[in-house]
Chains A and B, each alone.
Chain A
Amino acid sequence: MLRSTFLLLMWLSFLGLGAAVPFVAGLGYVWIDLFSPHRVAYSLLPGMPVAMITALVMMGAYVAFDRAAPPRPTALMVLIVLFAIWITLTTTWAVVPDSAWRKWDWAVKAVGVAAFLPFLFRSRIQIDALLVTMILSVAATMLPYGIKTLISGGGYGTNLGLFGGNYGLAESSTLAMAASASIPLILYLRNHSRVLPRGRLTTVACYGLVVAALLTVIGTTARTGLVALAVLAVVMWWRSHHKTVYVLAALVLAAIGWAVADQTYIDRMMTIFDYGSESSALGRIAVWLWTLEYVGANPLGGGFDVYRVNTFSVPIEGAPGEFLTVQGKAFHSIYFEVLGEHGIPGLALYLGIVATMFLNLRRVMRDTRGERGLLWAHELARSLIVTLVVYLAGGAFVGIAFQPMLYYFAALTISLHQFVRRAKAADPAPAPAADETAAAPAERRRPPSIWGETGRTPQPR
């Protein structure tokens, strides 16, 4: 009861403050979406439409108080809206209508909110607050998961999170992906956040969260997590200025991990290379082949959860005459999930969103290069690119195409892109680094960058 009351008060605080300060209502929505207080609480919240009420407050407060300087429509925003419309259309001809409309109900919100959030998050502090809230909402699950992994060792199918079921961060592969993808953003926040108070406590908390994220990935025993971590390690090495030291540190960490890891964990990870006879991996490959065949016959897709109709048998490698029969096997890949459910146009829109995110972030990096006042934007764009690469690589093996994290990254990308566009319009020429009027006391007191480079320009509204 105490937990439920505490979370209810948290929610009411978001609503109360959010009614006057719209971006706080947006933070509340993100908190509900990622942390799921209505599932973590035992009573009071579970019966209430918390997300809907928060969304209404968020939109109402925006319309009432916050319509100044809305963002310009961008290609990314248009693609997101088109994608939301297209996934609604494909649901009308869904092969499994009941299941499809159930998934549409939450998926379309995840997609649609990404197009709305940039209206709420426009200034540096607001963008910063959005990122901090995202990370803390995931941290609420990562932290206990990491600690319990340290105590018990974790294990496949063992849910050490805050709530059960197969929803959101309670699903082990989704959690492993979220944990891996959050690491670059935590490191960014440690160096550049203004919303996080500066000091040793913040540094310790950020590094503690990185450790919790790593332990969470290990604890879930999800192979997707290991793939995502490997990609993260390679990308960070590629970006690192101290490549030899990085390799040595990674080897030491890997050796420690190998020494302390449970044998069942090692055995499960080794099945990554044994996809020909391991039933889970074999089933994935089979469902991907089925998806290609299905889309060949139905190029507009079969609607949400169309995988439920699949049934096939595949020969097991090394076991002549033996077949693996699979029925209703989920897609286990964001790309095949979108392709099977929403056809070729859906995949084109999805990949278009991702490609535009990369292009916008690259543009932000190019526009802010060498400007100390916009160092934070440069670094955030860089960290988001790393996060995206990790997410897209890991997502190749888990069906999280409509989990909200990616769409929040898209919203962050739009907000950041618009902020930098306004900054450049306000003052296209970089001011001298010695100018002491504005931005950079924070950057001066902190290490300049986790990746490099400095500069400054005045900050726009």
Chain B
Amino acid sequence: MIDALAIVLVSIALGVTTLRAVMLDRDTPWFGRDPDDAAGPRRPEDGRRGPRRGRKDGSRR
């Protein structure tokens, strides 16, 4: 009973943390989200995500 409870509890924790890691990891190709972006979207000048609004020199397209 104790063994089964421990296995289930730890497995749930492992499942949750693994899924959370996949969600958070920036290298994940599809729905990856940088944890550093948790407070808001990545800045456009960072270049990897978010709409690009102009050229690098600041002029409009």
Interface 1/0 per residue, A1-36 and B, CB below 8 Å: 001001100100110010001011001000100000
B35 on the interface (CB 8 Å rule)?
yes
**A126 B6 Cβ-Cβ under 8 A:** no
**Given the contacts A194-B35, A437-B43, A21 and B22 also touching, CB distance less than 8 Å:** yes
**B20 A195 Cβ-Cβ under 8 A:** yes
A75 on the interface (CB 8 Å rule)?
no
Residue of A nearest to B4 (CB): A3
**B25 A132 Cβ-Cβ under 8 A:** no
Segment 14-36 of B: residues with Cβ below 8 Å from A: 14-18, 20-22, 24-29, 35-36
**B14 A125 Cβ-Cβ under 8 A:** no
Across the interface, which residues of B come within 8 angstroms of A205, CB to CB? 13
Within the complex, which residue of B4, B5, B29 is in contact with A65, where a contact is CB–CB below 8 Å?
A: B29
In angstroms, Cα B36 to Cα A442, docked, is 9
Interface residues on A, range: 35 or more
**A6 B17 Cβ-Cβ under 8 A:** no
A144 on the interface (CB 8 Å rule)?
yes
Number of interface residues of B (CB under 8 A): 30
Residue of B nearest to A194 (CB): B35
Residues of B within 8 A of A (CB): 2-11, 13-18, 20-22, 24-29, 35-36, 38-39, 43
Segment 27-80 of A: residues with Cβ below 8 Å from B: 27, 31, 40, 65-66, 68
Across the interface, which residues of B come within 8 angstroms of A195, CB to CB? 17, 20-21, 24
**B26 A461 Cβ-Cβ under 8 A:** yes
**A23 B7 Cβ-Cβ under 8 A:** no
Residue of B nearest to A162 (CB): B3
In angstroms, Cα B43 to Cα A251, docked, is 52
Q: Which of B2, B3, B16, B38 has the most CB of A within 10 A?
A: B3
A123 on the interface (CB 8 Å rule)?
yes
Within the complex, which residue of B10, B20, B36 is in contact with A139, where a contact is CB–CB below 8 Å?
A: B10
Across the interface, which residues of B come within 8 angstroms of A31, CB to CB? 14
- CB<8 Å pairs between A and B, sample of 24: A3-B7, A6-B7, A10-B11, A23-B21, A122-B27, A124-B35, A125-B21, A125-B24, A125-B25, A125-B26, A126-B21, A128-B21, A129-B17, A129-B21, A133-B14, A140-B10, A143-B6, A143-B9, A147-B6, A195-B21, A197-B16, A437-B43, A441-B38, A461-B26
A236 on the interface (CB 8 Å rule)?
no
Residue of B nearest to A436 (CB): B39
- Shortest C-beta distance, A437 to chain B (Å), equals 7
